[in-house]
Amino acid sequence: MNAAKKGIITKEMRDVLASESIDEKTLLQKMSEGKIVIPANKNHKSLRGIAVGEGMRTKVNVNLGVSEDSYDLDLEFEKVKKALEYKADAIMDLSIYGATKDFRRDLVEYSDVMLGTVPMYDAVAKYGKNIKDMTVDDLFEVVEEHAKNGIDFVTIHAGLNQVCAERVDNNPRLTKVVSRGGAILYEWMKLNNKENPFYEHYDRLLDICVEHDVTLSLGDGLRPGSIKDATDAPQIQELLFLGELTKKAWARDVQVMIEGPGHVPLHEIAANMQLEKKLCHGAPFYVLGPLVTDIAPGYDHITSAIGGALAAASGADFLCYVTPAEHLRLPDLDDMKEGIIASRIAAHAGDIAKQIPGAIEWDNAMSKARGELNWDKMFELCIDPVKAKAYRKSSQPIDGETCTMCGDLCPIKRTKDLA
């Protein structure tokens, strides 16, 4: 952000200029205003600059990481490789157990996309203390360790302060607090009768971000965990504080993203996007889904893609993927692929609606190939060519130019030469 204000084009900015339809002057201006961020820790040497924000392609994040109940670091690193293969734009390591630092270092060395973490999770794993007994220094030391390790953006639930906690207590929810990081801080505040350390000592957090060039992803600790709780007083109260914290970060040239709700009924999604952009001054918005119904365990990649498409069309800049395993277990490789592809479809659908330059041209190229019954070109343009080819191969038509849906009655074949 500081470089943008000075008119300096960094290596990461050049990466963005080469991959997005934006000119140098506009990129500098929007980065200076905080409307576009390029998360790029100076210690992440393998990074390819990727921009999130106004006028950029909607980006997709993949969550992974181990827990005590499912601890297989080799499998998680295989997920890292697959996430990059399936063209994720970001990876978040949400590990809450074991050799987190070693895994994080390997991730930084290997990945060329931006990396995020939630240091609060690691504080629990690192110190092995009861939540009540963690000190303010404990929490900030973990944030600093992640910054030194090369993490590009950190999710910090700094807006969940005592006022917000009171809103939770006075406004009953079906699902009280569903954010892991938010719940840890809520518990810490309650047990110690103290203010959220990240809110009270926010300047200390900004000092770390400035030193290591870390983007602050202001977490929504009170995001709704059910559509009944969406857009309620606790969620909006926290969002108001996030808007204030955004301005304080910008005053220090710290880049900011705002995290948004996870469960929102379809008719409230556009309003949620507008509220965030208004209350947080145009900062990039990162949504966790959102899921548009609560009844579909095993299919939540679909409920998420429906919400994600509308969110992206309404202004969301960054979608966190959701897999079929959501609410059920840690996802495996197949779950991860389903989640990434579903979120990428949602992001692209949103980009078409936002008229992001170049978005609809991909669809037009596919339509042209279909109109020519050019199967090789269709597969080349598929978001998942492996699956498309497998379906085609599994049911071969008599006439190789058509498919087994219509066969000889293929309307494109019967009409393309009549004009």
State the binding site for substrate.
63, 92, 121, 157, 179-181, 220-223, 259, 286
- Distance spanning both ends of the chain, measured CA to CA: 56
Name the residue with tokens 């609410």.
Answer: 327
3-state secondary structure of 259: strand
Known binding positions for Zn(2+)? 263, 327
The set of residues, in sequence order, having a beta carbon less than 8 Å from that of 409 and lying 6+ positions away, is none
Element (H, E) at 102: helix 100-110
**Tokens at 145, concatenated:** 């360790």
Known binding positions for [4Fe-4S] cluster? 403, 406, 410
Burial 113-148 (b: 16+ CB within 10 A, else e): bbbbbbbbbbbbbbbeeebeebeeeebbebbbbbbe
Known binding positions? 63, 92, 121, 157, 179-181, 220-223, 259, 263, 286, 327, 403, 406, 410
Task: Name the β-bridge partners of 61.
Answer: 90, 320
Please state the φ and ψ torsions of residue 72, each to the nearest 5 degrees: -145, 90
CA distance 95 to 109: 17
3-state secondary structure of 14: helix
Asked if 157 and 221 count as a contact pair (C-beta separation under 8 A), the reply is yes
Please state the φ and ψ torsions of residue 194, each to the nearest 5 degrees: -130, 165
Angle at 342 between CA 337 and CA 348, to 5 degrees: 125
Between the alpha carbon of residue 214 and those of residues 57, 103, 189, 414, the distances in Å are 21, 19, 26, 58
Q: Which of 183, 181, 140, 180 is nearest to 165 (CA)?
A: 183
Q: Count the helix, strand and coil residues of the chain and give each as a percent rounded to the nearest 5.
A: 50, 10, 40
